[in-house]
Amino acid sequence: MIRKLSLFYDANQVISSMSNQFARQLSLTSFPPNSQNLNSLCSNGQLREALVEMAVQGLEMKFEGYYTLLNECVNRRAFREGQRVHAHMTKTCYLPPMHLRTRLIVFYNNCECLNDAQRVLDEMPVRNVVSWTAMISAYSKRGYASEALNLFLQMLRSGTEPNEFTFATVLTSCSGAWGFDLGRQIHSLIIKTKFESHIFVGSSLLDMYAKAGRIYEARGVFDCLPERDVVSCTAIISGYAQLGLDEEALELFRLLQREGMTSNYVTYASVLTALSGLAALDLGRQVHNHVLRRELPSYVVLQNSLIDMYSKCGNLSYSRRIFDSMPERTVISWNAMLVGYSKHGMGKEVVKLFKLMKEENKVRPDSVTFLAVLSGCSHGGMEDRGLEYFYAMAEGENGIEPELEHYGCVVDLLGRAGRVEEAFEFIKKMRFEPTAAIWGSLLGACRVHSNVEIGEFVGFRLLHIEPENAGNYVILSNLYASAGRWEDVRNVRELMVEKAVIKEPGRSWIELDQILHTFHASDRSHPRREEVSAKVKELSVKLKEAGYVPDLGCVLYDVDEEQKEKVLLGHSEKMALAFGLIATPEGVPVRVIKNLRICVDCHNFAKFVSKIYGREVSLRDKNRFHHIVGGTCSCGDYW
């Protein structure tokens, strides 16, 4: 019957229309093998059988057969099979045309064999823009930015003109230090070759500017695009979010939505990053509902964003619920959850979850995992456990070499435990040059544990490395004040005036019914400012009766004591806290967010508020959460 059919029908049509098993029997027994035959087998999903025919039966192959097989190997990421196809070409002395060699580059790229891909390119007698671009893309996708850029330069030198594919690809490798300079030059070339308004090139270009922190240039490119799509809109929104310009990101998202932008899971992940920064829980929930309605929750990236958003908004149990319900987790899912526990000072949970991660053994911890674990131990008051992890890491137990940031965590760990001298010795022995962040961490420890001797050394070192950072002057001055060295306090202040150091303006906010109420120090712009000021004054009187003493050491201005107290009462977090007390019913927890590290006086103020008013105060500063209940803070007064 089969043979009969073959008389009337094209053999390949017959094979294509039959079941896999039937087709296999048919092709291996009934017909002489040829390239079209292979095509049919591949379309039936029988790659192996096609290869058997090719190799065992010594089939003479031509372009079409090789191309079919290779395509199948690319689609399936079948590394071994693809290698056999390539080997067959060499063995039979077949010289593949440019088209096929380019496909080989793509195949090796898909199988993460960049050396093989490069070899194919090197052996090409003639290359065109497509083969160059395929190889540039291979490097940039695997994170080899300098190789990608070098290859692009080689391509230009060879006289090959880049096209829109090349520009869109090469710009993704321009985010590094020297990449950006080259990126600007590439931008000139793009203008010259009139590819600037191409949507793929444009979104790659604006992303390059955004990643270099040049958001105005990025916006300029975006505004000039003749058309927009979901990728270009997401690129500009995430550009703002990644730079911490959260309100701008949110505003643009709303604007583009009104203009009819479509969103996908990447857009929502970027918006959630902005909402995490703002700690806007109500808005975050709204996005979550939207994601659920659009049936997008199966995207791991989106779930990771949700874990992060809920934890940064203070709602860790939601984060954990999402984490537990995930069918698959990446290392970022684990890291986001660990960072969540760490920022909330829950050291025991960090250790427990890390143990679970190791027991499950599905995902390998990376360097961020260890940062989260070490800082979790530090914030959670588990110094010894943290040190154990670090030394195990340093001995190569986990296959991850400790980096500068991990050393920074250890300085933090030792400093918190009051082991200031040990932390100092540790820094001296480090294989890295200590950065301002490391010295800053030690200076903080010196302030908390009143170690003026080391603190003075570290402070001056820090003022030398980072003279523009006002925070260092503040801590050093606090340290002198705690030791009663008023003359030195004055000197630090004078130095600050001399260097014309500008303090980053403090800003605190509170979210009520999806609206963010923001307060700046001595700000008069809020519609209920009179009420808020009156409330702060009332609080000051009540708290003083209960034992609150304003910490005047927190004020750097050289003014009299009464003025200093006024300055302290004008701090933004006190206004936000007072507004929270006025605007929410009694007994409801108040959640305040601050852009900088909270000052000692405001921390103490919040502790008294929680005790006197019976309110739970959750305060998120630049570094971590402070959960204040009944006058006690989860940070143990060290932050």
Partner DNA sequence: TTAGGGTTAG
Q: For DNA, give the closer residue by CB, 114 or 332.
A: 332
Site for DNA, residues 70 to 99, rule: CB under 7 A: 98-99
Q: For DNA, give the closer residue by CB, 277 or 553.
A: 277
- Residue 137 found at the interface with DNA (CB under 7 A): yes
Quote the longest CA-to-CA distance of the chain: 108
Pick from 68, 319, 335, 472: which binds DNA (CB under 7 A)?
A: 335
Choices 8-16, 44-52, 179-187, 235-243; region in contact with DNA by CB under 7 A: 235-243
- Residue 168 found at the interface with DNA (CB under 7 A): yes
- Residue 542 found at the interface with DNA (CB under 7 A): no
Pick from 561, 622, 630, 637: which binds DNA (CB under 7 A)?
A: 622
Site for DNA, residues 172 to 231, rule: CB under 7 A: 172, 198-204, 207, 211, 229-231
- Residue 156 found at the interface with DNA (CB under 7 A): no
Choices 100-108, 181-189, 520-528, 557-565; region in contact with DNA by CB under 7 A: 100-108
Site for DNA, residues 246 to 285, rule: CB under 7 A: 264-267, 269-270, 273, 276
Choices 49-57, 58-66, 335-343, 344-352; region in contact with DNA by CB under 7 A: 335-343
Cα angle: 111, vertex 116, 118; to 5 degrees: 115
Exposure b/e, 347-379, CB count within 10 A at least 16 = b = bebbbebbeebeeeeebebebbbbbbbbbbbbb
**Tokens linked to 575:** 């206004």
Whole-number minimum distance, CB 160 to DNA, in Å? 10
Q: For DNA, give the closer residue by CB, 190 or 235.
A: 235
SS (H, E, C) 293-343: HCCCCCCHHHHHHHHHHHHHCCCHHHHHHHHHHCCCCCHHHHHHHHHHHHH
CA atoms of 117 and 134, how far apart (whole Å): 9
Q: For DNA, give the closer residue by CB, 476 or 543.
A: 476
Site for DNA, residues 379 to 438, rule: CB under 7 A: 405-406, 408-409, 412, 437
Q: For DNA, give the closer residue by CB, 165 or 579.
A: 165
> Position of tokens 């003022």?
463
Whole-number minimum distance, CB 35 to DNA, in Å? 17
Exposure b/e, 294-324, CB count within 10 A at least 16 = b = eebbeeeebbbbbbbbbbbbbbbebbbebbe
Q: Which of 283, 278, 349, 282 is nearest to 312 (CA)?
A: 278
Pick from 128, 146, 450, 522: which binds DNA (CB under 7 A)?
A: 128
CA atoms of 368 and 403, how far apart (whole Å): 10
- Residue 242 found at the interface with DNA (CB under 7 A): yes
DSSP 3-state of 158: coil
- Residue 154 found at the interface with DNA (CB under 7 A): no
Pick from 52, 156, 245, 300: which binds DNA (CB under 7 A)?
A: 300
Q: For DNA, give the closer residue by CB, 443 or 543.
A: 443
Choices 14-22, 124-132, 513-521, 605-613; region in contact with DNA by CB under 7 A: 124-132
**Tokens linked to 263:** 């969103």
Q: For DNA, give the closer residue by CB, 330 or 491.
A: 330
- Residue 339 found at the interface with DNA (CB under 7 A): yes
Whole-number minimum distance, CB 331 to DNA, in Å? 6
Site for DNA, residues 354 to 383, rule: CB under 7 A: 366, 368, 371-372, 374-375
Give me the count of residues in the chain.
Answer: 639
CA atoms of 582 and 572, how far apart (whole Å): 15
Q: Which of 166, 241, 176, 174 is nearest to 198 (CA)?
A: 166
Whole-number minimum distance, CB 372 to DNA, in Å? 6
Amino acid at 356: L
Amino acid at 200: F
Q: Tell me the CA distances in angstroms from 455 to 363, 378, 438, 451, 452, one per residue in order.
A: 41, 20, 13, 6, 5
Going by the DSSP 8-state scheme, the letter that residue 173 receives in this structure is G
- Residue 39 found at the interface with DNA (CB under 7 A): no
Site for DNA, residues 500 to 519, rule: CB under 7 A: none
